[in-house]
Amino acid sequence: MIVGKVVGSVVATRKNENLTGNKFLIVEPYKNMAGNGRIVAIDNVGAGIGENVLVATGSAARIGCNAKGSPIDAAIVGIIDDAIGLE
C-alpha cells in the first residue's frame, strides 16, 4: 500500500477496452514510498487533485477494482481523511 497525494490527471482517448470509462490520476508518493516517483493510478473511489490517497499496486489493484482481467497495476482504493506524520 502506498500513501500519496493526487497531483494531476491523465486523459487517454485510445486505451485497452477494459479501461474504458475509468478515470486516471497522477499520484506523488510520500517519503520514498515508491522508488520510481510519480505513478498513474486508476481512480476507483472518486478522488480529486490535492487529496491524500491510498494506492494498491500489482494484483491487489486489480482485485480492489474488481477487474481481474484488466491491465491495471495501480488503483486508488481510499481517500485519507487524516493522518499523523504524513508529510
pLDDT value at residue 85 = 74
pLDDT digits (tens, 9 = 90+) for 21-40: 889 999 999 876 666 689 99
pLDDT for the residue 53: 95
Question: Do 23 and 43 form a contact (C-beta atoms < 8 A)?
Answer: yes
What gap in Å lies between CA 78 and CA 76, rounded to an integer? 6
Q: How many CB atoms lie within 10 A of CB 78?
A: 16
Provide the pLDDT for residue 20.
79
User: What fold characterizes domain 2-79?
Assistant: OB fold (Dihydrolipoamide Acetyltransferase, E2P) (2.40.50)
* Predicted local confidence at residue 51, as pLDDT: 96
The model's pTM: 0.85
d(CA 57, CA 85): 22
* Alpha helices in the chain, H assignment, sequence order: 59-64
Which of 64 and 84 is assigned the larger pLDDT? Answer: 84
Largest CA distance in the chain: 40
Which long-range contacts link 22-27 to residues 24+ away (Cβ below 8 Å)? 25/49, 25/76, 27/2, 27/53, 27/55, 27/74, 27/76
